[in-house]
């Protein structure tokens, strides 16, 4: 009980930080979505120009539903811009569109952290879905069999679940440098291609930095849960001893 209360006390500030980060990115985007960039380039214009000027071919720029649902799909070769970004000529829109092209350029240039993140995607997708169910089944299995057979089947299932969740935490850890690097590339490209003037870049930076905070918050929460699961694993080891 003591460890669980301590876990909650540690987790609650990070949950609050996550909520604040989410509100921050929405309010920052909304503020600078009202500021029209002087080049009058839309998110779509920005994405296509940045790729064309860098000789990138075979990547389509599409519009998807939602707000701030922008993402790059390297498997399908698609840069998907949200409704709020695609046709808007605001500073916020071109910043977000350029960020996604930053990911395109990471793939084109063979940026190493990006390669690691891509390699982890299929493993993480499976692990994040199965980690908690495997751990729960493991605990229940252990409670049923420990006293009768003495064989720690459930214990090993818990360890497997922790390993799966650990991969998810690793993915989030690798994501941070990838996202910050994409934002740095975005700001540089926007100025190089004349889409934003140097005095407009600070506004774009505020939008991109606010978005990055959501990844920081997700990583913090993931690490807190991972540490909690490690405590569970240690309790199994102490009991076995």
Sheet containing 60-64: order of strands: 60-64, 78-82, 71-73
* Max intra-chain CA distance, the chain: 74
Distance CA 192, CA 46 (A): 12
Neighbouring residues of 155: CB distance < 8 A, sequence distance ≥ 6: 138, 142, 236, 240
Distance CA 214, CA 176 (A): 10
- Please list the active-site residues: 100
In DSSP notation, 43-74 reads HHHHHHHHHHHTT--S-EEEEESSSS--EEET
140 token code pair: 């229940």
The angle at the Cα of 223, spanning 222 to 228, to the nearest 5 degrees, equals 100
In three-state secondary structure terms, 128 is helix
Phi/psi of residue 38, each to 5°?
A: -75, -20
149 token code pair: 């057979």
């Amino acid at each position: 009980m003591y460890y669980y209360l301590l876990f909650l006390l540690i987790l609650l500030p990070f949950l609050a930080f996550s909520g604040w980060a989410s509100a921050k990115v929405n309010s920052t985007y909304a503020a600078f979505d009202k500021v029209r960039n002087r080049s009058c380039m839309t998110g779509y214009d920005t994405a296509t120009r940045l790729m064309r000027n860098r000789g990138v071919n075979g990547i389509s720029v599409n519009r998807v539903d939602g707000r701030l649902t922008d993402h790059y799909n390297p498997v399908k070769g698609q840069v998907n811009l949200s409704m709020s970004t695609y046709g808007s000529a605001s500073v916020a829109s071109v910043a977000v569109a350029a960020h996604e092209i930053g990911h395109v350029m990471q793939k084109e240039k063979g940026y190493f952290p990006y390669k690691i993140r891509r390699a982890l995607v299929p493993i993480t997708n499976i692990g994040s879905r199965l980690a908690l169910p495997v751990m729960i089944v493991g605990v229940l299995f252990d409670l049923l069999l420990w006293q009768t057979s003495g064989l720690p089947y459930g214990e090993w299932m818990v360890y497997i679940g922790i390993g799966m969740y650990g991969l998810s935490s690793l993915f989030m850890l690798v994501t941070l440098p990838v996202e910050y690097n994409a934002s740095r590339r975005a700001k540089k490209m926007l100025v190089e291609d004349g889409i934003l003037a140097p005095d407009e870049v600070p506004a774009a930076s505020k939008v991109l930095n606010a978005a990055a905070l959501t990844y920081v918050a997700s990583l913090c929460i993931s690490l807190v849960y991972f540490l909690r699961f490690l405590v569970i694993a240690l309790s199994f080891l102490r009991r076995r001893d």
